[in-house]
Amino acid sequence: MAFVEYVPGMRKGATGRNIALGVVYVLALPILSTLAFVWVPVYVGINYNGIARDLSSIPGVSPDGGVRTGVVVFVYLVVISFGPRIVQWLIGM
């Protein structure tokens, strides 16, 4: 299979369209990564496509999802994203 068959919106043989869509994807990346703090906990909380079951080996994540699981995943995201900055700030105190 060609790479374009895996990327949503891209079509085989439509080079101009694929380039334009690639540029839009690159420009949208900062927005999408910022919104990850919202949609990842929501998806895990509602167990979208069984994602909570797949992540249930992580402490605090229930295989059935739920609000508590969504909050736990949000906390994990914050710690992973901002942990090094927080530690650097604490060391600099």
- Judged by DSSP in three states, 53 sits in helix
User: What token pair was written down for 42?
Assistant: 């929501």
Number of structural domains (the chain) is 1
- Cα separation, 48 vs 42, in Å, equals 9
- Give the domain range for residue 69: 3-92
Per-residue pLDDT of the chain (93 residues; tens, 9 = 90+): 577 778 888 888 889 999 999 999 999 999 988 888 899 999 999 999 999 999 999 999 999 999 999 999 999 999 888 888 888 888 886
- Cα separation, 88 vs 69, in Å, equals 28
pTM of the predicted model over 0.75:
no
74, 37 contact by CB (below 8 A): yes
